Each structure stands twice: as C-alpha cells, then as structure tokens.
Structure 1
C-alpha cells in the first residue's frame, strides 16, 4: 500500500458497468502524509468515502481488484483514510 493525498474527483458518465458503483478519485503519492510528491497523479476507485485533501492508503494491482470486487476492473483503490502518520516516533501527519 502507498500513502497518497486526494486531489479531486474524476467524473465519468460513461464507464464499464463494474465501476458504476464507485466514485473515482484523483490522487497523488505522498512520502509521509505531509505533502504530495512531485510525481504524476493517478485515478483510484474510492471504497471508503474519502474527500479532497485527505491522506489515504491506496492498494494496487491484485489487492485493489480484490478490495473493489471481482467485477470492477481497477489497478488502484483507496482502502483507508489516515488519521495519523508516525515516522520514527514523530507525527508527520494528523487529520484535523
């Protein structure tokens, strides 16, 4: 799993039927919850109701497909919303 920050939503009125029940989120990886990395953003299906600005855990590959259900073709899925990130005993992120 990877920590990521939710940047926004992707709205699609026409999509594969297995994705019909999901909100699609635009996310970007973050090293320790503090700020998004400089890397590219990507789309992940939202399984937990995450909102813009929240730090989330993203599963990828087979784990994302299992979490989303076998009928949803996805490579990445938001599976948790982080409350706190602690690195080497120091809190680097705390949900406000």
Structure 2
C-alpha cells in the first residue's frame, strides 16, 4: 500500500465491459521527506487507479497495488492492479502529524 494525492481523472469511453461504470483517477504517490520526517513529498510518478470510494481531486488516499487490488468485493473480477482503498484523514510519523485532511 502507499499514500497518494488525487491529481485528476481519466475518461475512457472504450474499455472492456467489466470496467464500465468504474471511476478512474490519476494519483501521485507521496513519501516521507528523506531530509527529515517533518513532511510528505511527491515522488514525481503517476498511476491510474480505480476509485472504489468516491475520492476527489487533491484528496490524500491509500492505494493498494498489484494482485491485492483485486481482493476487495468491488474489484475481485476487474482487470486492475491499483485501487483506492482508503481516504486519509491524518498521517503521523514519529509522533508528529505530517498530513491532516483538515489542513493545519
């Protein structure tokens, strides 16, 4: 699993039938800053993920990748390898909040 920020959406009008009705998002993974654990920083990579929870742009999400992405009831029969499995409220590293959905 990894943390990512939703950066946009993907629209594909032509796709396999099993994917019809599934929202696709662009996400950018984040990591703890290697210069210090005081903040999260983007990795510079992007992924397309299936949104199983209704995430929106700029939200921080928890993404499951690989064959594990097909282990949820919503995705077990889909040809995917990445899915949003959580909407992140806070991230705490070494006793310090490095992300809060409420800001601050």
What is the TM-score with the length of structure 2 in the denominator?
Answer: 0.84
Structure 1 unmatched ranges of 5 or more:
none
Partners of 2:54 and 2:4 in 1: how far apart?
Answer: 14
Does the residue aligned with 1:85 lie in a helix, a strand or coil?
strand
The residue that corresponds to 1:19 in the other structure is: 19
Does the residue aligned with 2:70 lie in a helix, a strand or coil?
helix
Cα deviation for residue 25 of structure 1 reads 0.3
For residues 36-75 of structure 1, what are the structure 2 equivalents within 5 Å?
36-38=42-44, 40-67=45-72, 68-75=74-81
What is the TM-score with the length of structure 1 in the denominator?
Answer: 0.90
* Structure having the higher Rg: 2
Cα deviation for residue 34 of structure 1 reads 3.3
Partners of 2:75 and 2:24 in 1: how far apart?
Answer: 15
Does the residue aligned with 2:69 lie in a helix, a strand or coil?
helix
Tell me how many residue pairs correspond in the alignment. 95
Structure 2 unmatched ranges of 5 or more:
33-38
CA RMSD of aligned residues (A): 1.4
